[in-house]
Amino acid sequence: MPARRRRAGKNGRRVTASDLEGPAPGEPPGRGHRDDRSDGFDDPSDLAPGALTEDDLPDGVTYSSWFGSEHGPTPRPEWVITDHNALDVERGVVKTGKEADVHLVERWLPGTDAVTLLAAKRYRSSEHRQFHRDAGYLEGRRVRRSREMRAMQRRTEFGREVIAGQWARAEFGALSRLWSIGFAGGRALVPYPVQLDGTEILMEFMGTPDGVAAPRLAALRPDGALLADLWEQMLDALGTLALAGYAHGDLSAYNLLVHEERLVLIDLPQVVDVVGNPQGPAFLARDVQNVATWFVGHGLPEHLADVGEITARLLGDAGLR
Give the contacts of 143 (CB within 8 A, at least 6 positions apart).
Answer: 149, 152, 162, 166
Q: Report how far residue 249's alpha carbon sits from residue 290's, in angstroms, rounded to the nearest whole number.
A: 11
Instruction: Name which of 164, 35, 36, 32 is nearest 95 in CA terms.
Output: 32
Q: Report how far residue 162's alpha carbon sits from residue 216's, in angstroms, rounded to the nearest whole number.
A: 30
3-state DSSP call for residue 16?
A: coil
3-state DSSP call for residue 196?
A: strand
Give the amino acid at 174: A
3-state DSSP call for residue 161?
A: helix
Question: What is the structure's pLDDT at 49?
Answer: 38
257 phi and psi angles, rounded to 5 deg: -100, 155
E-assigned strands of 170-306? 193-197, 200-204, 246-247, 256-259, 262-265, 272-273
One pLDDT digit (tens) per residue for the chain, 321 residues: 666 554 443 333 334 444 454 444 344 333 333 333 333 333 433 444 345 666 778 888 999 999 999 999 999 999 999 998 999 999 999 999 888 999 999 999 999 999 999 999 998 755 444 544 555 555 555 545 565 455 445 555 566 666 677 888 989 999 999 999 888 888 889 999 999 999 999 999 999 999 999 999 999 999 999 999 999 999 999 998 999 899 999 999 999 999 999 999 999 888 899 999 999 999 999 999 999 999 999 999 999 999 999 999 999 999 987
Exposed e or buried b for every residue in 66-84, given b needs 16+ CB within 10 A? bbebeebeeeebebbbebe
Q: Report how far residue 249's alpha carbon sits from residue 267's, in angstroms, rounded to the nearest whole number.
A: 10
Q: Report how far residue 121's alpha carbon sits from residue 97's, in angstroms, rounded to the nearest whole number.
A: 10
Instruction: Name which of 69, 33, 37, 72 is nearest 54 in CA terms.
Output: 37
Instruction: Return the DSSP state at 216.
Output: B
Domains of the chain with CATH codes: 17-127+190-204 (no CATH), 217-317 (1.10.510.10)
On whether the CB atoms of residues 257 and 234 are closer than 8 A, the answer is no
What does each C-alpha distance from 195 to 80, 171, 187, 191 come to in angstroms? 10, 11, 20, 12
Instruction: Name which of 237, 281, 232 is nearest 255 in CA terms.
Output: 237
114 CB-side CA count, 13 A: 16
Give the contacts of 54 (CB within 8 A, at least 6 positions apart).
Answer: 40, 41, 63
Q: What pTM did the predictor assign?
A: 0.77
E-assigned strands of the chain? 61-63, 70-71, 87-96, 100-108, 115-123, 193-197, 200-204, 246-247, 256-259, 262-265, 272-273
228, burial (CB in 10 Å: exposed 0-12, middle 13-18, buried 19+): middle
Q: Report how far residue 79's alpha carbon sits from residue 188's, in angstroms, rounded to the nearest whole number.
A: 15
Question: What is the structure's pLDDT at 270?
Answer: 83
Q: Report how far residue 140's alpha carbon sits from residue 155's, in angstroms, rounded to the nearest whole number.
A: 18
Q: Report how far residue 245's alpha carbon sits from residue 238's, in angstroms, rounded to the nearest whole number.
A: 11
Question: What is the structure's pLDDT at 17?
Answer: 42
